[in-house]
Amino acid sequence: MARELLTVGGAAVESGWSARMLRYLEEHAFVMPLRTDAGYRLYGLPELNRLRSLRDLRARFGVELAELVFARRLRREADLRQAVDAWLAAGDDARSWIEWEQRKHERLLAV
């Protein structure tokens, strides 16, 4: 019978995480394994792929888990996304050369 369902130790080896971290990731709703009746965690291919790509994300970009959570919020909460975007856009502009030039005199007046 096809047994591509791994218990936590096997999934740890296969994914590159520690078993401890697999439990941590479940606790924080990043990767939710199936369960046997006895309560053993079972990881299938989708979960393993998810674990591997999560590892990748952290390795390649240095992304924190909390940051992923925030990214999820950003894609779900339109008003939050808009507010953040507005703030960041203002920041990009505020530091643009035009503003910078315009405000030189403030520095001069300020002395």
Interface residue list for DNA (CB under 7 A)? 7-10, 18-21, 23-24, 28, 36-41, 64-66
Strand partners of residue 107: none
Where residue 89 falls (left for φ over 0; alpha for ψ -120 to 50; beta otherwise) is alpha
Q: Which does 13 bind (CB under 5 to 8 A by kind): a second copy, DNA, none?
A: none
Chain centroid, CA 32 distance in Å: 15
Residue 98 in the binding site for a second copy (CB under 8 A) = no
Q: Which does 9 bind (CB under 5 to 8 A by kind): a second copy, DNA, none?
A: DNA
CA distance 38 to 17: 23
Residue 85 in the binding site for a second copy (CB under 8 A) = yes
